[in-house]
Amino acid sequence: MPASSKASWFWAILFLIGSLLIITFALGWFPQLYAAVGIDGSFGEVTKAHPFIMGFIKLFFLGTLGEFIKFRIAKGTVELDKVLQRAIVWGIWGLWFALAFPAFAGAVTALVQADPQIWPGRIGTEENPLALGERIWLAFSMSLWINVLGMYALGMMVSHEYFNRLIATNWKSWSLTAFADNSQPRFVLAFLPKTLLFWIPAHTFTFAMPSEWRVFIAALLAIVLGFFLSVGRRS
């Protein structure tokens, strides 16, 4: 096996192990293992205490694992170049996720609380919790705001493609004009169906979960989307 292939498999296995550790921690499996390395508390407690660190770590491993899976399906190899650079970009996106989800959830909550005529809905309390339909509507509203009105999905997709180009050019081509000239028009045009068919229902599920789980679920969903897109390209 060539040295480059060995290095690629090393990185792929490393990010697979890191991602599995995050997933098992989230599921509450093997608590003694995490206690032994000084992690005190459940996944939700640690995420609440350190939202940005956890956001970075989740996307650093899970996002990069998604890159490996997508590359393996599309190209038939794991020889992904500049892995650490890609992982750091994903980690920075994890910081973005950690800000974006509470920001848009808070915005919709504030609108509903201010005046239901501005945005219909209700915020539940312990004495008067939301019915299932009300919970789904509130989560759907947050997903609609973040993806359509906030342009989150388009911003994430386009900016990630931009950084992929920067990595490919060794961080030399910062020109937005050059990026636009080299982008496939159908990539941008694909935004609408991807948002409607994937991200809005997917993030409705995400916002229906407790806040400390949202970045983790969003990272898993990014892997799923990458898998579907890779299968589609290969087909």
pLDDT at 173: 80
Note the pTM of the prediction, 2 decimals: 0.85
pLDDT range class, residue 235, cuts 50, 70, 90: very low
**Mean pLDDT of the region 94-123:** 90
The Cα 233–Cα 63 span in angstroms is: 19
pLDDT at site 1: 52
Label residues 192-216 b or e (16+ Cβ within 10 Å = b). Answer: eebbeebbbebbbebbbeeebebbb
What is the rounded average pLDDT of the residues 176-200? Answer: 69
Q: Specify which of 11-15, 35-39, 40-44, 149-153 reaches the highest per-range mean pLDDT.
A: 11-15
Which of 172 and 102 is assigned the larger pLDDT? Answer: 102
Mean pLDDT of the chain: 84
Residue 208 has pLDDT above 60, yes or no: yes
Residue 233, number of CB atoms within 10 A of its CB: 11
C-alpha 205: how far from chain center:
13
Residue 104 CA from chain centroid, whole number:
15
Share of the chain above pLDDT 70, in %: 88
Alpha-carbon distance 161 to 83, whole Å?
A: 15
Tokens of 167: 């990595």
Segment 64-86 shows an average pLDDT of 83
